[in-house]
């Protein structure tokens, strides 16, 4: 199954439990709007570069549509549709007043200069500025984008529409960003990891974790795990990985990775490949990078008994069935990584009220949202004897479905 089929498969598993009609399924799965644009721009060498950008607005029954902008060579129409749909269920699972959207550009940012990255961002916003906005669709960072990219994006949007910081979230603090937004996804991941371990009568302190990815999500996840006393025994990034069964010294690894542009070569640890990481000896596996990495083979040989999906769509549908049969507990992406969009919501609220929250308030509200959402998903899973993923979809689809029916068409 490819990613689009997998997303439909997960949706249908929950929809079957709910007895949802075929007509409602079709309505809820069909994106509202899919836009594909040409992005021509001048490269540093004077040549013209032509790129393709996408913005997919999946559903707005519960509010303005919300979702990141991904700059990655593998971005294509199918991927963006799938990720937009995930955003619809994600915002519903954590009950924030948004629908779902996603966008991106098929580009390898490692090949762009800083000036080229700025120009491609601005030209993309030129093409989509009419379809986004604080009450319509609010982009944010995703893979390959960050607060600086959001700063250029908001600046370009404001050239057309005037001051409107709430049109984009994940902005730098100096430009109406929120305290705690950068760390939010990783923090949310650790909050749900703690919550699921408590249900399993275990504790974060002393648990062993293998973590794939050391970008924004992976690095904050590692830091908070370390602070909670968990042992992060293996970490990989795009270039390679490191392993130490005694637990990696995360503060030193963060410094090493910043200085050496990657974790490879970190002293006191052995080298490990991505494939080895997925199967290594650890109680908890956290994929925090690309989609589709937990394949059927990985699901069969994996030693971890708990998977926390910090990445979007990391588990293939066939692999998910194997994990269920093996009684591996999987906390699904639409719950596990929802901390990012939740603090995006706090940023949007602050922008609209022109009132800043301090970091303790952001962290406290995030904790409340994540713990409440986790408990609700856990209870539905127990009650209906379904996986946490199906339970999360039941909640998400239920909320979107009720809003759709109440509003009418
Ligand atoms: N890109 C993140 C996600 O996949 C955050 C989206 C947002 O903050 O709107 O959830």
Question: Cα 130 vs. chain centroid, distance in angstroms?
Answer: 25
Residues in contact with ligand 1 (CB, 6 Å cut-off): 66-68, 140, 142, 169-170, 312, 337, 340-341, 344
Query: Distance from the CA of 125 to the center of ligand 1, in angstroms?
Result: 18
Query: Distance from the CA of 322 to the center of ligand 1, in angstroms?
Result: 28
pLDDT of residue 3: 82
Q: What is the atom index within ligand 1 of the atom nearest the CA of 90?
A: 10
Query: Distance from the CA of 325 to the center of ligand 1, in angstroms?
Result: 30
pLDDT of residue 131: 98
Question: Cα 15 vs. chain centroid, distance in angstroms?
Answer: 23
CATH of 32-175, one of 3.40.1190.20, 3.40.50.10860, 3.40.640.10, 3.40.50.620: 3.40.50.10860
**Domain assignments of the chain as residue spans, ordered by start:** 32-175, 178-353+361-409
Work out whether strand 33-42 and strand 241-243 pair parallel, antiparallel, or are unpaired. Answer: unpaired
pLDDT of residue 409: 84
Q: What is the atom index within ligand 1 of the atom nearest the CA of 68?
A: 1
Among residues 405, 400, 409, 363, the alpha carbon closest in space to that of 90 is found at 400
Task: Give 99-137 pLDDT, tens digit per residue.
Answer: 999 999 999 999 999 999 999 999 999 999 999 999 999
Q: What is the atom index within ligand 1 of the atom nearest the CA of 83?
A: 4
From the candidates 102, 199, 231, 384, give the one annotated as an active-site residue. 102
Q: What is the atom index within ligand 1 of the atom nearest the CA of 139?
A: 9
pLDDT of residue 219: 98
Query: Distance from the CA of 359 to the center of ligand 1, in angstroms?
Result: 19
pLDDT of residue 79: 95
pTM attached to this predicted model: 0.97
pLDDT of residue 1: 84
Instruction: Compute the distance between CA of residue 133 and CA of residue 156 in angstroms, rounded to an integer.
Output: 12
Nearest CA to ligand 1 atom 9: 67
Q: Which residues pair with 284 in a beta bridge?
A: 209, 306
Task: Give 204-219 pLDDT, tens digit per residue.
Answer: 999 999 999 999 999 9
pLDDT of residue 292: 93
Q: Give yes or no on whether 32-175 and 178-353+361-409 have one common fold.
A: yes
Give the count of beta carbons closer than 10 Å to the beta carbon of residue 402. Answer: 13
Using most ligand atoms within 8 A of CB, pick from 72, 96, 185, 348 the residue to mutate for ligand 1. 185
Q: What is the atom index within ligand 1 of the atom nearest the CA of 138?
A: 9
pLDDT of residue 6: 87
pLDDT of residue 20: 97
Nearest CA to ligand 1 atom 8: 341
Query: Distance from the CA of 170 to the center of ligand 1, in angstroms?
Result: 9
Among residues 342, 295, 14, the alpha carbon closest in space to that of 181 is found at 342
Using most ligand atoms within 8 A of CB, pick from 146, 183, 341 the residue to mutate for ligand 1. 341
Nearest CA to ligand 1 atom 10: 341
Q: Which residues pair with 212 in a beta bridge?
A: 236, 287
Instruction: Compute the distance between CA of residue 209 and CA of residue 236 in angstroms, rounded to an integer.
Output: 12
Query: Distance from the CA of 70 to the center of ligand 1, in angstroms?
Result: 10
Q: What is the atom index within ligand 1 of the atom nearest the CA of 312?
A: 4
Using most ligand atoms within 8 A of CB, pick from 7, 64, 68 the residue to mutate for ligand 1. 68
Local confidence pLDDT in tens for the 409 residues of the chain: 888 888 899 999 999 999 999 999 999 999 999 999 999 999 999 999 999 999 999 999 999 999 999 999 999 999 999 999 999 999 999 999 999 999 999 999 999 999 999 999 999 999 999 999 999 999 999 999 999 999 999 999 999 999 999 999 999 999 999 999 999 999 999 999 999 999 999 999 999 999 999 999 999 999 999 999 999 999 999 999 999 999 999 999 999 999 999 999 999 999 999 999 999 999 999 999 999 999 999 999 999 999 999 999 999 999 999 999 999 999 999 999 999 999 999 999 999 999 999 999 999 999 999 999 999 999 999 999 999 999 999 999 999 999 999 999 8
Query: Distance from the CA of 197 to the center of ligand 1, in angstroms?
Result: 25
Active site (annotated) includes residue 102 = yes
Instruction: Compute the distance between CA of residue 368 and CA of residue 365 in angstroms, rounded to an integer.
Output: 5
CATH 3.40.50.2300 fits 178-353+361-409, yes or no: no
Query: Distance from the CA of 245 to the center of ligand 1, in angstroms?
Result: 32
Using most ligand atoms within 8 A of CB, pick from 139, 340, 343, 396 the residue to mutate for ligand 1. 340
Query: Distance from the CA of 206 to the center of ligand 1, in angstroms?
Result: 30
Q: What is the atom index within ligand 1 of the atom nearest the CA of 341?
A: 8
Among residues 177, 231, 252, 217, the alpha carbon closest in space to that of 337 is found at 217
Half-sphere exposure of residue 172: CA atoms within 13 angstroms, side-chain side: 8
pLDDT of residue 94: 98
Instruction: Compute the distance between CA of residue 363 and CA of residue 366 in angstroms, rounded to an integer.
Output: 5
């Amino acid at each position: 199954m490819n990613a689009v089929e997998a997303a439909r498969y997960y949706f249908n598993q929950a929809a079957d439990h709910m007895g949802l009609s075929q007509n409602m399924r079709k309505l809820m799965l069909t994106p509202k709007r899919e836009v594909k644009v040409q992005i021509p721009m001048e490269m540093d060498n004077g040549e013209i570069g032509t790129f393709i950008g996408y913005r997919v607005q999946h559903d707005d029954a519960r509010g303005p549509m919300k979702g990141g902008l991904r700059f990655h060579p593998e971005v294509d129409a199918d991927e963006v549709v799938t990720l937009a749909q995930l955003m619809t269920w994600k915002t519903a699972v954590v009950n924030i007043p948004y629908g779902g959207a996603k966008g991106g550009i098929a580009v390898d940012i490692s090949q762009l200069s800083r000036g080229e990255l700025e120009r491609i961002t601005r030209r993309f916003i030129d093409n989509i500025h009419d379809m986004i906005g604080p009450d319509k669709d609010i982009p944010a960072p995703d893979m390959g984008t960050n607060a600086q990219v959001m700063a250029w994006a908001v600046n370009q949007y404001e050239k057309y529409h005037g001051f409107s910081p709430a049109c984009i979230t994940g902005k730098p603090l100096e430009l109406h960003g929120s305290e705690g937004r950068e760390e939010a996804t990783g923090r949310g991941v650790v909050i749900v990891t703690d919550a699921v371990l408590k249900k399993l009568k275990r504790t974060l302190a002393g648990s062993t974790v293998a973590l794939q990815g050391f970008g924004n999500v992976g690095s904050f996840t590692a830091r908070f795990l370390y602070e909670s006393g968990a042992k992060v025994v293996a970490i990989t990034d795009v270039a390679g990985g490191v392993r130490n069964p005694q637990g990696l010294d995360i503060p030193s690894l963060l410094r090493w990775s910043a200085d050496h542009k990657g974790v490879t070569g970190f002293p006191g640890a052995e080298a490990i490949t991505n494939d080895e990481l997925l199967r290594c000896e650890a109680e908890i596996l956290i994929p925090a990078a690309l989609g589709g990495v937990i394949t059927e083979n990985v699901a069969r040989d994996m030693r971890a008994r708990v998977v926390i999906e910090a990445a979007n769509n990391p588990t293939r549908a066939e692999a998910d069935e194997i994990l269920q049969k093996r009684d591996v507990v999987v906390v699904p992406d639409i719950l596990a990584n929802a901390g990012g969009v939740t603090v995006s919501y706090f940023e949007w609220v602050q922008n609209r009220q022109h009132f800043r929250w301090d970091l303790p308030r952001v962290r406290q509200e995030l904790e409340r949202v994540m713990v409440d959402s986790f408990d609700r998903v856990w209870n539905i899973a127990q009650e209906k004897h379904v996986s946490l993923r199906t339970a999360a979809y039941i909640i998400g689809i239920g909320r979107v479905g009720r809003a759709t029916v109440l509003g009418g068409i």
